[in-house]
Amino acid sequence: MAGSTLASPSDEAPALARPPASPGRETWRRFRRHRLALASVGVLALLVGGVVFGGFLWPVAIDDIDFAAQLQGPSWDHPFGTDDLGQDLLARMIYGGRISLAVGFAAMAVASLIGVLVGALAGMSRRLLDPVLMWLTDLFLSLPQLPLLLLVIYLFRDSLKAVFGSQGGVFLMIVAVIGGLRWMPVARLVRAQFLSLREKEFVEAARSQGATAAHLVRRHILPNALGPVIVAASIEVSAAIIAESTLSFLGLGFPPDIPTWGRLLFDAKDHLDVAPHWALFPGGAIFLTVLSINFIGDGLRDALDPRRVL
Amino acid sequence: MADPVDPILSVSDLTVSFRSDGRWREVVHGVSFDVGPRETVALVGESGSGKSVSALSILRLLPRDASRIGGRVRFAGRELLAAPEAEMRRVRGDAIAMIFQEPMTSLNPVLTIGFQIAEALIRHRGLSRSAAEAEALRLLDKVRIPAARSRLHEYPHRFSGGMRQRVMIAMALACRPKLLIADEPTTALDVTIQAQILDLIKSLQDEEGMSVLFITHDMGVVAEIADRTVVMYRGRAVEAGPTARIFEAPVEPYTRSLLAAVPRLGTMAGRARPMRFPVVDRTTGLAAPTPETPDTVQAAERPVLEVRDLTTRFDIRSGLLGRVTGRVHAVEGVSFSIAAGETLALVGESGCGKSTTGRAILRLVEPLSGSVLLDGEDIIGLDPKALRARRQRMQMIFQDPFASLDPRMSVGAAVAEPLLINRLAAPREARRRAEDLLARVGLGPETAGRFPHEFSGGQRQRICIARALALNPRLIVADEAVSALDVSVKAQVVNLMLDLQAELGLAYLFISHDMAVVERVSHRVAVMYLGEIVEIGPRAAVFGDPQHPYTRKLLAAVPVPDPARRGERHALPDDEIRSPIRAPDYVPPERLYREVSPGHVVQDRGAGWTGSAAGEAAA
């Protein structure tokens, strides 16, 4: 809004039609208006519910080898078909999905947390901290990600395994590596938002009332900066799932016996011509997860912004 | 209207609807008016009255899929609303030219102005490149741009706002239009520049024989320029007629209330105290008697605020190592004091340092030197914690009430926030106090749960005032607090501020560029120019007997909302507002001040004053 435009859109007569609702309800009402986001919540709930509770509904062992049923397409016995060892793909996807989704959300949390922290510190600093943190961000951005990932995994896989066990160690390492290498976009976004918000008049108004810097950040700057961060974070989830898939695809993620969605894709690639279903189901699951999380992020951003007339 | 000659533009029964949420909403309801040849017609109204939309729909510049235009628009015998798009393109810029409010954004920053003007000439008039450049030069001369030949090849950022608006006018004139539509062309400009542009438009109209449709919210500008006036209110033309008749004998209640709310320079002669605006009933147009404001100034006590030699400079750094290559001398050696219950107005044009002064007093920007005594205690050099405690006693109201409210915070929470920040009340108690404060500024307690975007501009400014009052301050710095508001709303907010001053004994530092409002509200006035106070004194003395040439120039430039006094003004020289940027080694000269009458002090213009000589000649 340009400072020179007239700020008053109408007369003094109040044009307040709706009674004020409580903020939580209001947010939910706004979110419901976003149809795609609402549908995406359903899809994501189905996926999460599927991987969490699917094991009870489909109690088939993931490592049941049945050479009589190699590379079968979907059937009543094996709804998602089987792989080259005759293992049931539905059971494997339920099991692996837990890990894929957990990696996605945990890595998102790590990346967003570091990103918001670095961005906020840089955005509020008026001295040396800002350039230093931004150099660090640029440094991280310029690192080639995949080789670095490979190097870290090569160096630390065994020591972590020793401490946290094979699955736990790899999980921690992958979350740390993906989260630790993907915070930069969030940090830049947050910094840019902070830089513009901290000069806004309402922040200055709060400052003139005696607010401390911490109060300004907590009550005024961060809530207003969060919209783009939510969208970025939702993209981060998808990026983490895909990154994990890439690692597993390269055979460097979880051990081969843990069928994460990415690992399933990796295994399926040699049989694409005879058993396309093997790749289609995990690929479709990743696709649906990523898409629905992005839509939910969109909807959340709109719903959390009281200025939007929805 | 029975005009002896055919009108050049005839708008009859114009309706405009916009689609929102799938429904069509009519915003302009059957507006009719004519513009005769060589005539200036003003469309005047407050924001949201549909004046700009009407003008845009004449040129069919509204988005086609989201708007619907009805009625008839005849221009030079052609029906514009039925014309094919290709023909409209020929009309736009060729027969009808338009200039806009924001000269800053209407020029392409990467092309020289000469190129941009020449482009229009080549496209519309089919001139060759060299002929177009020569013509562009002639046009720049015509709009009185000094040293036009050398400035032809400069980029827009080298031009000030007023000069850019001149360039825009030159472009509009490029094709010798029959009609010029000017949409708030001077609203974003300073008063002295506004006066220059108005003069320019008037004289160009005589030279070129164009008609002008002038859209504005400023009754002073209307009185200055328009032959006939159409008053718009909520999408309707409520009153139309010759400008002199509208001002002398308004018929409609709305016109009367609008005119009553217009601050007029000079109405305060012979009054010592500020005066409320008359309250006019919108339905009857009758003004209630204006109650006299009580004498609020506590002259005997020690002043609330004493500012001594306040100086604020900003470094301009450039180059790889961030060397200081210049300094903005925003505030230079400013001294004044404000007593409890007193209003000191700080007036001046953009870039004169008046806002920086206000911010430096609250230490929202750090002053370089000087002292700011609040109730006798110097707040410069206080540590952050002590400063936060002192800030409770001085609060600020900003120009843009929307920008100064957190869009994510309900109004009640925003008003309660200062209490919570300073731990003066528990959350429940703060909520209750917030409702009281909102009631005090004329808003119901049920508004507390709503968000800023649900309020109009005037209501938002009331909320900001309620928030500023929450801490029971002694001093309120009002930085252009009413400048962005419509006239009638402005009058209401000013009245509220005066009432609060009478009730609570507040001291105001009223920062404004609007001389007419300043005359109304202030006890004393300080005029700033290039970071320095050039004249300070009691309001009656400064307005009645201005001593400094800059004060005189400023007062002469204010448009007078009285068509009978048109042309009384002295012609203003076409100079620009000078920049306060200086070389890093610049040492400001010693200033001498002389006292004209008790309390009325003027900067002696010795070698230091380098303002326009014509300002002195006008005196």
pLDDT in tens, A193-212: 999 888 888 888 888 888 88
pLDDT score, position A7: 36
Q: Within the 41-60 window of chain B, which residues sit less than 8 Å (CB to CB) from chain A?
A: 46-48
Q: Output the DSSP codes for B193-210.
A: HHHHHHHHHHHHHHHHT-
pLDDT mean over A37-55:
89
Report how many domains make up chain A: 2
Task: Determine, for residues A12 and B46 on separate chains, whether the beta-carbon distance falls below 8 Å.
Answer: no
Q: Is the entire prediction scored with pTM above 0.90?
A: no
- Higher pLDDT: B237 or A27? It is B237
Rounded distance between C-alpha atoms, residue B375 and residue B357, angstroms = 18
CA neighbor of B542 nearest in space, from B558, B522, B557: B522
- pLDDT tens-digit map of B186-221: 877 788 888 888 888 888 888 888 899 999 888 888
Say yes or no: B484 contacts chain A, CB-CB below 8 A. Answer: yes
- Shared domain check, A113 and A44: no
Is A24 part of the contact surface with chain B (CB cutoff 8 Å)? no
pLDDT for B573:
62
Question: What's the confidence (pLDDT) of residue B282?
Answer: 67
pLDDT band at residue A272 using 50, 70 and 90 as cut-offs = confident
| Residue B169, pLDDT score | 86
Residues A180 and A290 in one domain: no
Please tell me whether residues A36 and A149 are part of one structural domain: no
- Taking Cα atoms as reference points, which of A154, A168, A187, A175 lies closest to residue A243? A175
The single residue listed with the structure tokens 């109009």 is B456
Residue of chain B whose alpha carbon sits nearest to that of A211: B421
Is the domain spanning B1-87+181-188+213-262 CATH 3.40.1350.10? The answer is no
What pLDDT is attached to residue A307? 66
A202: nearest CB among B404, B454, B459: B404
Contact (CB<8Å) A12/B485: no
Mutate to test the interface with A, among B422, B456, B475 (most CBs of A within 10 A): B456
Could you give the ipTM of this predicted complex? 0.72
Answer whether residue A265 is part of any domain. yes
Q: What residues does each domain of chain B span?
A: 1-87+181-188+213-262, 305-408+451-558+574-618
How far is the CA of B52 from the CAs of B48, B49, B94, B183, in angstroms? Answer: 9, 8, 20, 7
CA nearest to A89, candidates A250, A264, A246, A249: A264
Chain pair A-B, CB pairs under 8 angstroms: 145
Question: Is A112 a member of any domain?
Answer: yes
Looking at residue B525, its pLDDT comes to 92
pLDDT surpassing 70 at residue A34:
yes
> Which residue in chain A is spatially nearest to B350 when comparing CA positions?
A4
Residue A253 is assigned to a structural domain of this protein: no
Q: How far is CA A139 from CA A108, A111, A261, B304, in A?
A: 20, 16, 31, 53
Residues A106 and A44 in one domain: no
The residue among A201, A223, A245 that closes a domain is: A223
Q: Is residue A191 domain-shared with residue A118, that is, in the same domain?
A: yes
The domain B305-408+451-558+574-618 is placed in CATH, from the list 3.30.70.270, 3.40.50.300, 3.40.50.2000, 3.40.50.720, at 3.40.50.300
Q: Averaged over A53-73, what is the pLDDT?
A: 77
Percent of chain B with pLDDT over 70: 92
pLDDT of residue B615: 39
Contacts of B166 (CB under 8 A, 6+ apart): B140, B143, B144, B145, B197, B200
Give the strand pairing for B40-44 and B369-374.
unpaired
Q: What is the distance between the alpha carbons of residues B343 and B482, in angstroms, rounded to a whole number?
A: 15
**Per-residue pLDDT at A156 exceeds 90:** no
Residues ≥6 apart with Cβ < 8 Å to B188: A4, B101, B102, B103, B104, B161
A106 and A219, same structural domain?
A: yes
Q: Distances from the Cα of B545 to the Cαs of B76, B549, B552, in angstroms?
A: 50, 11, 9
Contacts of B407 in chain A (CB under 8 A): 202, 224, 305-307
CA distance B208 to chain A (A): 30
Contact flag B101-A4 (C-beta cutoff 8 Å): yes
A165 and A213 belong to one structural domain: yes
A235 within domain boundaries: no
Which residue carries 């050696």 as its tokens?
B333
Q: Cβ contact (<8 Å) for A224 and B407?
A: yes
Distance to chain A for B486, nearest Cα, Å: 7
Task: Provide the token pair at B450.
Answer: 């709503």
> Which pLDDT value is given to residue B524?
92
Question: For residue A263, how many other CB atoms are within 10 A of its CB?
Answer: 26
Contact A177, B353 (CB under 8 A): no
A133 in the same domain as A190? yes
Q: Does residue A75 sit at the B interface (CB-CB below 8 Å)?
A: no
B470 chain-A contacts, CB cut-off 8 A: 209
**A37-46, A265-274, B334-343: which range is least confident on average?**
A265-274
B147 vs A13, higher pLDDT = B147
Cα B481–Cα B486–Cα B489 angle in degrees, nearest 5? 75
Q: Choose from A110-119, B220-229, B343-352 the range with maximum mean pLDDT.
A: A110-119
Residue type, A283: G
Q: Strand B369-374 and strand B377-378: pairing?
A: antiparallel
Closest-CA residue to B509 (of B419, B374, B600): B374
A23 near B CB under 8 A = yes
Supply the pLDDT for residue B589. 78
Classified as helix, coil or strand, B34 is strand
Which pLDDT value is given to residue B76?
Answer: 83
Tell me what pLDDT residue B619 has.
35
C-alpha separations of B594 from B534, B551, B591, B604 in Å: 11, 15, 10, 6
Q: Is A262:A277 a contact under the CB 8 Å cutoff? A: no
Pair A11, B45: CB distance under 8 Å:
no
Interface test with A, best of B388, B400, B493 (most A CBs within 10 A): B400
**How distant is the Cα of A309 from the closest Cα of chain B, in angstroms?**
9
CB contact, 8 Å: A16 with chain B?
Answer: yes
- In terms of residue numbers, what domain contains A128? 102-223
Cβ–Cβ gap A12/B102 under 8 Å = no
A15 CB neighbours in chain B (<8 A) are 456
Average pLDDT of chain B?
83
Check CB contact of B406 with chain A, cutoff 8 Å: yes
The answer, for B455 touching chain A at a CB cutoff of 8 Å, is yes
**Residue B575 clears pLDDT 90, i.e. is over it:** no
The pLDDT value given to residue B612: 43
pLDDT in tens, B264-307: 777 777 777 788 887 776 666 666 667 777 777 877 788 899 99
Give the mean model confidence (pLDDT) for residues B363-379: 88
